[in-house]
Amino acid sequence: MTDSLFTPFSLRDTEIPNRVMLSPMCQYSAEEGLANEWHRVHLGTRAVGGAGVVMAEATGVERRGRITPGCLGIWSDEQAEALEPVTSFVRSQGAVPGIQLAHAGRKASHAPPSEGGHALPEDHADGWETISATDEPYPDEEPAATRRMDAGDVEDVIDAFAAAAERSLSAGFEIAEVHAAHGYLLHQFLSPVTNDRDDEYGGSFENRTRLVREVVEAVRGVWPDDKPVFVRISATDWLPDRDSWDVDDSVRLAPLLAEAGADLIDVSGGGIHPDQQLPNAGPGYQVPYAEAIREETDVPVAAVGGITEPTHADALVRNGRADLVALGREMLRHPYWPLEAAHELDVEVEWPVQYRRGRFE
């Protein structure tokens, strides 16, 4: 029987009820990294709406790893406790709660988009020191200084990811996703655009991929054997005119991530530099990257990027192009998209008892 958008999907001993995943979308609504009622409603609503995986936003493994002062954090027990009501409700609706563990590196210490998204220098009241593979700051109009990480910093970051995974487990999450995409810290090590090091973490492909592999190994080491680990990558830097990370590199990386303990690659793109040459962002514009990784490596993948139509999402699974379909902006616009998609695809799914009067006839 051909798998479809509403076929359950098992990774290790975790069964995901369908192939729809809420893509992690920053909410910029936390204070000191603490989740609040906004996060409970935002993530809970998508679980009510029928998503199989509800992935929380990029969540800082260190205070200095947040993108903005309003981003979620998981560097303290208090932050883990604040997330427990979120995961409890998501699970009660039959969805699998996931968390994206993140470190922004040189793209940290920025104002939220609603306030302009500009860099906040270290001496700003809301700013802090940023670290990276390089000492070159992200090229904002007024960039904040960035410090090149030394061996101690690297060790601290690996430890921070592992500790964050342990706290995420105690908070009730069932999937841990390592964020290595969109120009954030782990991507900064992967890409030759930003990695100008000459130590064991720079230069060759093996060295540039070392940190993400060690982080995945550290997360897998504390994550239960019956629960999956995802890794989100940027399959390409979209910088074809310079030495950069590309799809061939991603295909080469995927089995190494699987060796390190990853169960699925969440495939996105770009973010390393503002000069990126974004392709025509039509429906499914990033799907070929996920498909290439799946075809060449047999590692399960999630596809993302301009996917809005149920028939399109269903076809991606039916045709073996992706194992999960991640929706971000579309799920912000339509939190009950999975329920509506099931109706359009003529699939019977369970509705929340409170909403059964709204079922399509």
Specify whether 336 is catalytic.
no
| Cβ(180)–Cβ(105) below 8 Å | no
Q: Report the b/e string of 30-41 with b at 16+ CB within 10 A.
A: beebebeeebbe
Question: Which candidate in 28, 138, 184, 336 is catalytic?
Answer: 184
Q: What CA–CA distance (Å, rounded) separates 75 from 80? A: 8
Give the model confidence (pLDDT) of 343-352 as tens digits.
999 999 999 9
What does pLDDT average to in each consecutive run of 10 residues of the chain (361 residues)?
A: 93 98 98 98 98 98 98 98 98 98 98 96 94 96 93 98 98 99 98 98 98 98 98 97 97 98 98 91 95 95 98 98 98 98 97 94 78
Give a three-class secondary structure readout of the chain: CCCCCCCCEEECCEEECCCEEECCCCCCCCECCECCHHHHHHHHHHHHCCCCEEEEEEEECCHHHCCCCCCCECCCHHHHHHHHHHHHHHHHCCCEEEEEEECCHHHCCECCHHHCCCECCCCCCCCCCEEECCCCCCCCCCCCCEEECCHHHHHHHHHHHHHHHHHHHHCCCCEEEEEECCCCHHHHHHCCCCCCCCCCCCCCHHHHCHHHHHHHHHHHHHCCCCCCEEEEEECCCCCCCCCCCCHHHHHHHHHHHHHHCCCEEEEECCCCCCCCCCCCCCCCCCHHHHHHHHHHHCCCEEECCCCCCHHHHHHHHHCCCCCEEEECHHHHHCCCHHHHHHHHCCCCCCCCHHHHHHCCC
Domains of the chain plus CATH, in order, are 9-345 (3.20.20.70)
Q: What CA–CA distance (Å, rounded) separates 106 from 146? A: 6
In this predicted structure, what is the pLDDT of residue 1?
62
Q: What CA–CA distance (Å, rounded) separates 7 from 109? A: 41
Q: What CA–CA distance (Å, rounded) separates 61 from 231? A: 15
Residue type, 124: H
Q: Which residues have a Cβ under 8 Å from the Cβ of 176 and sit 6 or more positions away?
A: 98, 99, 101, 165, 168, 169, 219, 223, 227, 229, 230
| Cβ(325)–Cβ(5) below 8 Å | yes
Residues present in the chain in total: 361
Give the model confidence (pLDDT) of 3-59 as tens digits.
999 999 999 999 999 999 999 999 999 999 999 999 999 999 999 999 999 999 999
Q: What CA–CA distance (Å, rounded) separates 210 from 200? A: 8
333 burial via Cβ count (<10 Å: 0-12, 13-18, 19+) = exposed
Q: Which residues have a Cβ under 8 Å from the Cβ of 243 and sit 6 or more positions away?
A: 192, 193
Residue type, 134: T
